A and B are shown apart, each in its own frame.
Chain A
Amino acid sequence: MSTVSETTHDSAVAMSAPAASDEGLTAAQRAQKYGLAQSGARPSLPEYVRQLWHRRHFISAFASAKLTAQYSQAKLGQVWQVATPLLNALVYYLIFGLLIGTRKGVPDFVPFLVTGVFIFTFTQSSVMAGTRAISGNLGLVRALHFPRACLPISFCLMQLQQLLFSMGVLVLILLGFGQMPTWSWFLVFPALLLQFVFNTGLAMVMARLGSKTPDLAQLMPFIMRTWMYASGVMFSIDLILKGKHVPQFVEVLLNANPAAVYIDLMRFALIDSFTASKLPPHVWAFAGGWALLMGVAGFVYFWKAEERYGRG
């Protein structure tokens, strides 16, 4: 063994002896001289955005591939895209509509409930998918080069596509319960766009946290369920709070809650009896503010650790 390593040293020096002018330069200096870049270094923020734009087709292809692959083993196949949200709504209706009487005082309870469930599920599954976006795809991260933000964005896009199927179901339910299409239905689009940006930002935050602490994926269901009950998905927050003495800050918090904001906007857009008077004050400002804040902050926070994804 010792003889081998001695020859190693000699031959190593002989082999990689740099040209005379390179002598005495450190590795970093030589790298600079020949214009080499550090491998796996984090690109600047504008460069990162440019790379991400360049990969936009990968992002969308990955999202729809995941979506199709999801039910491809099932006999009913893509029917489950529609059946899953429908069954989900049915379960919540049985429990909250029939067993526990939260429907009291809420007009058009079924559309109210189903809208809430679908919109919250969009945020919930984006966050869950984001948490696993890096830690669940280490094979991909360790095999190919692409801006890692492709993964959380792609998973959120997949959830958005999933939501569009749910919205189709929702339209049928709305029509079935006598809600006729009005101009206000077009508000669905800006509301969904803002929610998508918010979800993506949050998913990127969760992706970075989850890449460092994969245990988070086990903890998240509890946090998400707590958030769901605080967001008035299956009951009206206003009705619950009415006549009760709650501190001012709790009321402010409940009204500023981004999930509640997006759910209320969607109800306002789709349900006739959910009038503007039921919306919390400054609701569009909150919706836009949350999207902007979360989108930008989440993106920057994710980018800050770009070179570290893929370890452990």
Chain B
Amino acid sequence: MAEQNNGVQPTAAAQERIPTVIADDLHIVYRVYGTGAGKGSATAALNRIIRRKPSTGVREVHAVKGVSFTAYRGESIGLIGSNGSGKSTLLKAVAGLLPAERGKVYTHGQPSLLGVNAALMNDLTGEKNVVLGGLAMGMSREQIRERYDGIVDFSGINEKGDFISLPMRTYSSGMAARLRFSIAAAKDHDVLMIDEALATGDRAFQKRSEARIRELRKEAGTVFLVSHNNKSIRDTCDRVLWLERGELLMDGPTDEVIKAYEKETGK
């Protein structure tokens, strides 16, 4: 509880508030191919390239529209909004993973998303995926060797027998999710962004992962959390950004924003 008050003490902290993330009029546009009537065949592709007409079947999705905010060291910031309001997109842009169409994001150190799913391969054993995932997140081989046992124990994959040496495609969805979380949470982060990662696994695993998230929060300078669970936002965040249709609707202390949000969504 004590650490949650760090960010919101307005008088003492105001003098030395050090920004860790500055978003300046940020716009993100996705381009989606293959939505129109255009055929995907090789001749159609040749035709398009020759005619220099790339526009067929391309739709632009303006996911984030002119968002500006500044996050400070020690803050824990929640992101709320309905599905498709641009929360995850905003996080990816802050992490520098999605290029901005206009505007800029400045960050202290390298922000990282808590997630490693994309680097893992279902056809490989759990064992190899731990190594591959760790390397993909930028850990060295020595670091992975040191933490390997910790990762496997934390995931609890081996509780029901030697599953870590089986391919990941043989895991149940819950087991796979637990292993993914365990790998992702094994690394230390400067600015940490968590995208609804808390709802995986059974009850016991959820408790363990919440404790791990709290640990990560202590180590990281600033934490962003995307969630649809207002209770977990209330528990962990002292400031909330409310996004709707890609625009920043509200930015303020948790209670104020959540109250307005609940009123708007009729909860």
- Chain A residues packing against B (C-beta within 8 Å): 1, 4-5, 7-8, 11-12, 14-16, 18-19, 26-28, 30-31, 34-41, 54-55, 57-58, 61-62, 65-66, 68-69, 72-73, 137, 139-146, 213-216, 218-219, 221-222, 307-312
27 contacts between A and B (CB under 8 A): A7-B250, A11-B253, A11-B257, A15-B252, A19-B15, A31-B106, A39-B95, A39-B111, A40-B95, A55-B138, A57-B141, A58-B132, A58-B135, A61-B132, A65-B124, A68-B124, A73-B123, A143-B117, A144-B97, A214-B33, A215-B45, A215-B49, A218-B41, A219-B45, A219-B49, A221-B42, A312-B32
**Which residues of chain A are near B135, meaning CB under 8 Å?**
55, 57-58, 61-62
- Contact of B250 with A142 in the complex, beta carbons under 8 Å: no
Q: Give the CA-CA distance A55 to B253 in the complex, in Å.
A: 40
Q: Mark B216-246, 1 if CB is under 8 A from A, else 0.
A: 0000000000000000000000010010000
**Which residues of chain B are near A309, meaning CB under 8 Å?**
99
Q: Give the CA-CA distance A137 to B136 in the complex, in Å.
A: 13
Closest beta carbon of chain A to B194's beta carbon, Å: 13
Q: Give the CA-CA distance A214 to B108 in the complex, in Å.
A: 34
- Contact of B42 with A146 in the complex, beta carbons under 8 Å: no
- Contact of B22 with A144 in the complex, beta carbons under 8 Å: no
Contacts A7-B260, A216-B45, A219-B46; A310 near B250 (Cβ below 8 A): no
Q: Give the CA-CA distance A35 to B105 in the complex, in Å.
A: 13
For A10, the closest partner residue in chain B by CB is B252
**Which residues of chain A are near B24, meaning CB under 8 Å?**
26-28
Closest beta carbon of chain A to B179's beta carbon, Å: 15
For B14, the closest partner residue in chain A by CB is A19
Q: Give the CA-CA distance A263 to B135 in the complex, in Å.
A: 35
Closest beta carbon of chain A to B80's beta carbon, Å: 13
**Which residues of chain B are near A57, meaning CB under 8 Å?**
135, 140-141
For A36, the closest partner residue in chain B by CB is B106
Closest beta carbon of chain A to B57's beta carbon, Å: 10
Closest beta carbon of chain B to A59's beta carbon, Å: 9
Q: Tally chain B residues at the interface, Cβ within 8 Å.
A: 77
Q: Give the CA-CA distance A69 to B121 in the complex, in Å.
A: 8
- Contact of A4 with B249 in the complex, beta carbons under 8 Å: yes
Closest beta carbon of chain A to B130's beta carbon, Å: 11
**Which residues of chain B are near A30, meaning CB under 8 Å?**
19, 22, 70
- Contact of B99 with A62 in the complex, beta carbons under 8 Å: no
Out of B54, B68, B106, B116, name the residue touching A213 (CB < 8 Å): B54
- Contact of A145 with B253 in the complex, beta carbons under 8 Å: no
Q: Give the CA-CA distance A144 to B132 in the complex, in Å.
A: 13
- Contact of B118 with A140 in the complex, beta carbons under 8 Å: yes
For A307, the closest partner residue in chain B by CB is B99
- Contact of B99 with A308 in the complex, beta carbons under 8 Å: yes
**Which residues of chain B are near A55, meaning CB under 8 Å?**
135, 138
Q: Give the CA-CA distance A4 to B250 in the complex, in Å.
A: 8
Which 7 pairs between the two chains have the least Cβ-Cβ distance?
A: A40-B96, A312-B31, A27-B24, A31-B106, A11-B252, A215-B45, A39-B96
- Contact of B42 with A72 in the complex, beta carbons under 8 Å: no
Closest beta carbon of chain A to B190's beta carbon, Å: 11
**Which residues of chain A are near B32, meaning CB under 8 Å?**
312
**Which residues of chain A are near B48, meaning CB under 8 Å?**
215
Known interface pairs A144-B118, A145-B96, A310-B98; 6 further A-B residue pairs with C-beta atoms within 8 A, sorted by A's residue number: A12-B69, A35-B108, A141-B97, A144-B116, A218-B41, A218-B45
**Which residues of chain B are near A139, meaning CB under 8 Å?**
117-118
- Contact of B20 with A36 in the complex, beta carbons under 8 Å: yes
- Contact of A65 with B121 in the complex, beta carbons under 8 Å: yes
Out of A12, A145, A218, name the residue touching B97 (CB < 8 Å): A145
